[in-house]
Structure 1
């Protein structure tokens, strides 16, 4: 495991049962990074939405371009903005029902 933080460690106000759920993690498998998270506290588990395609990007401007293109005809799940773990993070479900987290690593 390269990185892991729980909802409790992230400083979010969550129930005691949700404190140990994984908010963000990265597993290294060969030359690939696998991002693994638990369901957000308070969000109902949705059958069929277990896999997201994460766009990991180094450029904030390019992150905005992907975000704008994916949200056209789609639905914004999380607006692209700076959060505690990323200078540019957002999540969009595109017009075909595929969810794309867009993630820029902190340098």
Structure 2
């Protein structure tokens, strides 16, 4: 699995390809990870991306983030939403 961090203006995008052993599926070759500072911003992105899409992991607290979720949007692109710990 490969990872990259892209800095675009004030935004930082973390991208990763699929995990080894996962079958190729159109739109699944790259995950885009959006990192936000708080749960409220995470909720806004999550709601917008799941509209017409599919929830892959519900937005919830996990051991590495106070609000983490994964959504495949209506175009077939998978987004991970990651909230930083304070």
Question: TM-score over 0.5 for the alignment?
Answer: yes
CA distance in structure 2 between the partners assigned to 1:38 and 1:98 by the alignment: 12
1:55 alignment partner in structure 2: 34
Which protein has the larger Cα radius of gyration, Structure 1 or Structure 2?
Answer: 1
Q: Which has the higher strand share?
A: 2
Displaced runs of 4 or more, over 3 A: 25-38
TM-score (norm. length: structure 2): 0.74
Is the alpha carbon distance of 1:29 and 1:44 closer, same or farther for their aligned partners in structure 2, counting shifts above 3 Å?
A: closer
Gaps of 5+ in 1: 1-21
Once the two structures are superposed, residues 23-47 of structure 1 have per-residue CA deviations (whole angstroms, 9 ceiling, x without a partner) of xx9766788564547628xx84234
RMSD: 2.8
CA distance in structure 2 between the partners assigned to 1:65 and 1:91 by the alignment: 13
Gaps of 5+ in 2: none
1:77 alignment partner in structure 2: 56
* Corresponding residue pairs, total: 82
The answer to whether the 8 A contact 1:26-1:33 is kept is: no
TM-score (norm. length: structure 1): 0.61
1:39 alignment partner in structure 2: 19
